[in-house]
């Protein structure tokens, strides 16, 4: 089954404690992206990657890092989380060559206290 | 700056009626436009894609129109059902053609 898998689904952490949210896709998609979703603000792109070792900033990259060492994985790293990073996070992937739809993960609800 | 605008007001309609949702955009020249459905706490799910040279696209009870002159897309759900209640997002490709930019979504509530 074609899917994007994020882990964990829920996470409560404390300010300043480094964390990683994993994202993996099994569709051999070149493009992967992270979004955060907050009430009233919609989906905002954090970082995206067009292929292995190629990453770029989205609209709200501050406080986040990503890496793309393998095509299937695109982890989101919060080196020093702060309460304003409490949000619902989604990973997505899509093909580049054909302009087709994006596939989203189940979401990770992060709370930073 | 590029903007995608969807009705921020929730749309409440009665079961069986047609729901019409609007997506307007500025400072884009999208090659295509997509519509997604999102249920609370879950990831968006793709519904339909329409290309700039297509005026209308249908899939079962769903219909999308795309007017590049008006810079607007309309999304219709005919014979709506309570199970159609969700938030609907429109998305456009960025100028690079690689990424997707999303509107904030319109919440639809279909009551029996």
Encode pLDDT of A4-43 as tens digits.
Answer: 999 999 999 999 999 999 999 999 999 999 999 999 888 9
- How far is Cα B44 from Cα A6, in angstroms, rounded to an integer? 14
**A105 inside 8 A of chain B by CB:** yes
Name every chain A residue with its beta carbon within 8 A of the beta carbon of B45.
104
Query: Chains A and B: how many Cβ contacts under 8 Å?
Result: 56
State whether A31 and B99 contact (CB < 8 Å).
yes
pLDDT at A14: 97
When pLDDT is averaged across residues A89-99 and rounded to a whole number, the result is 86
pLDDT band at B97 (very low <50, low <70, confident <90, very high): low
- B103 preceded by cis ω (within 30°)? no
State whether A104 and B34 contact (CB < 8 Å).
no
Q: What is the dihedral of CA A111, B40, A46, A13, to 10 degrees?
A: 10
Q: For the ranges A55-69, A87-101, B64-78, which has the lowest average pLDDT?
A: A87-101
Q: What's the Cα-to-Cα distance from A11 to each of A20, A38, A47, A110, A111, rounded to whole Å?
A: 10, 16, 20, 5, 6
Closest by Cβ to B98, choosing from A50, A90, A107: A50
pLDDT at A98: 66
What's the pLDDT tens digit per position in A38-80?
998 889 999 999 999 999 999 899 999 999 999 999 999 999 9
pLDDT band at B94 (very low <50, low <70, confident <90, very high): low
pLDDT at A43: 92
- How far is Cα A101 from Cα B23, in angstroms, rounded to an integer? 18
């Amino acid at each position: 089954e074609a899917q994007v898998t994020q882990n964990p689904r829920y996470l409560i952490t404390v300010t300043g404690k480094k964390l990683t949210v994993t994202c993996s896709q099994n569709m051999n998609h070149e493009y992967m992206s992270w979004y955060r979703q907050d009430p009233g603000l919609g989906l905002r792109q954090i970082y995206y990657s067009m292929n292995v070792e190629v990453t770029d900033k989205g609209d709200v990259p501050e406080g986040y890092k990503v890496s793309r060492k393998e095509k299937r994985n695109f982890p989101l790293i919060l080196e020093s989380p702060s309460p304003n990073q409490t949000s619902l996070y989604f990973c997505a992937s899509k093909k580049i060559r054909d302009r087709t739809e994006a596939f989203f993960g189940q979401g990770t609800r992060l709370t930073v206290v | 700056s590029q903007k995608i605008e969807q009705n921020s007001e929730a749309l409440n309609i009665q079961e069986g009626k047609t729901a019409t949702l609007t997506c307007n955009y500025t400072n884009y020249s999208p090659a295509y436009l997509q519509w997604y459905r999102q249920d609370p706490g879950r990831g968006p799910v793709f519904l339909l894609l329409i290309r700039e040279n297509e005026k209308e696209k249908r899939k079962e009870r769903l219909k999308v129109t795309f007017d590049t002159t008006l810079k607007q897309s309309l999304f219709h759900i005919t014979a709506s059902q309570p199970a159609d209640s969700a938030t609907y997002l429109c998305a456009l490709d960025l100028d690079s053609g690689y990424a997707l930019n999303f509107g904030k979504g319109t919440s639809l509530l279909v009551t029996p």
